[in-house]
Structure 1
Amino acid sequence: MASNLPLENVWDYPRPPEIEPVQARLRVIFNQIVLADTTRAMRIIETGHPPTYYIPPEDVKQEYLNRNDKTSYCGYKGLASYYDFILPDNQPIVKARIWSYENPTGSDEKYIGVKGYFSFYVGPWDCYVNDEKVEAQPGDFYGGWKTKNIMGKVNAGSGAWIIDYKMTNNPSRYITEQPDTFNTVFALAPQERISNIYECDDRRCGCGSKYTVALTNERIIQRRADSCCGCCSQGYIDSMLFLSDISSISTRVNPTRNGMPLTLTGPFGSEVFTFSRQSFHNALAMIPQAAMPHKISTQPRIVMQTPYSAPPYETKPMKPDYQSAF
């Protein structure tokens, strides 16, 4: 059955993501139990992703939901709480397939529109937009609903990396294999994985610096290559900081001609990492997201033990003198 919704391409969706009301009827049905039925939903659309739908609590049968201990962090909406689906008479429980932002945070208050709303992963229940049964967004991280009108290659979540993020008509190159090398004095460990590489060319008439920053599951690494008149290299400076050591992030260093510096502070001092203006907000969201598992883990830290696949998470612009701390 053809979709009765207008055609939309995920690469035409905005970044930063936008929130908007939904006119369509949404339903979530499990074994003839209608868990949710609404015409008052909101959706969030973001570059490379099918829409994520949020249903008002009044239209969800909350007697089947039980909040668990799982949480996750979004650079825009803050901390999400997760819910198990439960039934009487000892039937199996579906764990952590429903989430909600009980108190969306951040300087951009537009996401307050989904406060207390519930969002459902597709499956094991059936999800419908109008009368169309939706497909799940690939992967096991994101919760987008894909209808037949959604066009474009969709980001798949964990197990994939986004590299060379640029705010263009093709914002990122989707890859499933790691780069062979990253040229700095800080060699990658065998189990270390790069999630993003950022480049900022701050040279003018061949003079100045070019910055290359790699974000991995354990560290953030930068090479600053200096040159003069484009014909003679002035050498390079490599710097590195473990994600587990980051205690604060500041944007108070003045921007350069093309670059936006971030100051990352840890117990052993500060390092400045420079990003292009196009990729700055992406980096500002992804660095805390990558560092968060190192901050909330209750296990002794073993360097490079578990690769972390950082997704292209929701990003948000910050004020020039923004100061954050974990």
Structure 2
Amino acid sequence: MAVVAGDLRIAATESAIRALETGSPPSFYLPPEAVDQSLLEPSDRRTLCEWKGEAEYFHIKGPKGLIRDALWRYPHAWDDAAVIAGYFSCYPARLDCVVGSERVRPQAGGYYGGWITDDVVGPFKGEPGTGHW
């Protein structure tokens, strides 16, 4: 699995954690050592997940400038999500993500960070008509 911006490799690993959430395609969380953290710039953005805790976000210093809030992590993930504490995930709408040899398609809606591949079938949160989910 790899994450790139243009020709710039941001991360690569064979040890990602695939996280499943209700109504969403999976998100992949990459171990910190798989991410080129020299490319990260901390963001002021924070969000709260009722299951995972508080997420912090990072911009990427990309080849064409700053890619805002492209990655996030849960530094102190709660309870059953503790396995992803400190691991990074990213938005496939902002970065190019590849699983195996397949380029990932982003989850609709802009807020969600699900990774859609050919073997993942919706509907998913974020698509038209799913606002009540």
Q: Same fold (TM over 0.5)?
A: yes
Higher RCO structure, 1 or 2 (CA under 8 Å, sep 6+): 2
Deviation at 1:87, TM superposition (A): 4.3
Q: For residues 59 and 157 of structure 1, what CA distance do their matches in structure 2 show?
A: 31
Q: Which runs of 5+ in 1 are unaligned?
A: 1-25, 163-311, 313-326
Deviation at 1:30, TM superposition (A): 1.4
Work out whether residues 104 and 112 of structure 1, in 8 Å CA contact, stay in contact via their aligned partners in 2: yes
After superposing on structure 2, the runs of 4+ consecutive aligned residues of structure 1 that deviate more than 3 Å are 157-160
Q: How many residues align?
A: 133
The AA in structure 2 aligned to 1:76 is W
2:77 counterpart residue number:
104
Q: For residues 61 and 152 of structure 1, what CA distance do their matches in structure 2 show?
A: 32
Q: 2:68 aligns with which of 70, 95, 118?
A: 95
Q: 2:3 aligns with which of 2, 23, 28?
A: 28
Query: Whose Rg is larger?
Result: 1
Work out whether residues 140 and 157 of structure 1, in 8 Å CA contact, stay in contact via their aligned partners in 2: no
Describe the SS at the equivalent of 1:150. Answer: coil
Q: 2:19 aligns with which of 44, 68, 76?
A: 44
2:30 counterpart residue number:
55
Deviation at 1:49, TM superposition (A): 0.9
The root-mean-square deviation of aligned C-alpha atoms, in Å, is 1.9
The alignment status of 1:122 with 2:96, answered yes or no, reads no
The AA in structure 2 aligned to 1:84 is H
Q: Which runs of 5+ in 2 are unaligned?
A: none
Distance change >3 Å, CA 158–CA 113, structure 1 → 2: farther
Q: 1:82 aligns with which of 39, 57, 67?
A: 57
Work out whether residues 28 and 125 of structure 1, in 8 Å CA contact, stay in contact via their aligned partners in 2: yes
TM-score (norm 1): 0.39
The AA in structure 1 aligned to 2:36 is K
Describe the SS at the equivalent of 1:113. Answer: helix
Q: For residues 115 and 36 of structure 1, what CA distance do their matches in structure 2 show?
A: 17
Q: For residues 85 and 160 of structure 1, what CA distance do their matches in structure 2 show?
A: 30
